[in-house]
Amino acid sequence: MVDVGPGRGEWLALLAGRRIPAHGVDTHEELAGLCRARGLQVILGRAADHLASLAPGTVDMVTAFHVIEHLDTEELIELILAARQALRPGGCLLLETPNPTNLVMASCDFYNDPTHRSPLPPDLTVFLVTAHGFGQVEVRHLNPGQAPGEAGPADDVARRLYGPQDYAVLAYRPECRR
């Protein structure tokens, strides 16, 4: 398994604690060093380059938690294509990112991180992975905000304001056909 942009290594540490083989790849030298100091394997470099350097079809899963919103469109497509090449047939690409269908996230909270480029609506992320060869695509909405305790006609407004703050797209490399 390869984790793109592991940050402080929480996901890699969780996997290591369960003896699941995994490593990370990050362009941030300080964070990569922090992970290594914790005994985690993190390669310094660009994720797309690293994935492209792996033997094709040898990775079970590629994860990227809160990474794709930092990439421009060309970098994101390059990452998707490199992940598809590295994944084994049936392997999974998991991309988690802030959810701009939550209006508070889209209009304010997203911009609290000055390194964010632009919000990616779930339908756009689904389109990008599907258009670049992935199938069995699923969207999971995550981390709902705290809505006021009212029900009724205002539910749709409350969902838009306080709905899931993040979403994940799980996309699978198609199995080989015989």
- Give the model confidence (pLDDT) of 140-160 as tens digits: 998 776 655 555 556 677 777
CATH number at residue 73: 3.40.50.150
Inside any domain, residue 63: yes
Q: Is the CB of residue 122 less than 8 Å from the CB of residue 139?
A: yes
By the 8 A CB rule, do 80 and 128 touch? yes
Per DSSP, 126 falls in state H
Higher pLDDT, 157 or 78: 78
Rg of the chain over CA atoms, in angstroms?
Answer: 17
Amino acid at 38: R
pLDDT at 107: 86
d(CA 41, CA 32): 9
3-state secondary structure string, 25-74? Answer: EECCHHHHHHHHHCCCCEEECCHHHHHHHCCCCCEEEEEEECCHHHCCHH
Task: Report the distance separating Cα 123 and Cα 128, nearest Å.
Answer: 9
Query: What pLDDT shows up at residue 157?
Result: 75
How many structural domains comprise the chain?
A: 1
Decide: 127 and 102 in contact? Cβ < 8 Å: no
| Residue 19 located in a structural domain | no
More confident residue, 156 or 133: 133
Look up the domain containing 65 and give its range.
46-172
114 belongs to a structural domain: yes
The answer to whether residue 56 scores a pLDDT higher than 70 is: yes
Q: Which helix (H) or strand (E) holds 133?
A: none
Residue 10 counted as domain residue? no
Res. 59: pLDDT tops 60? yes
Would 160 be classed as within a structural domain? yes
Domain membership flag for residue 61: yes
Helix axes 73-86, 122-131, angle to 10 degrees: 50
Residue 177 lies in a domain: no
Domain membership flag for residue 151: yes
Tokens of 102: 């939550």
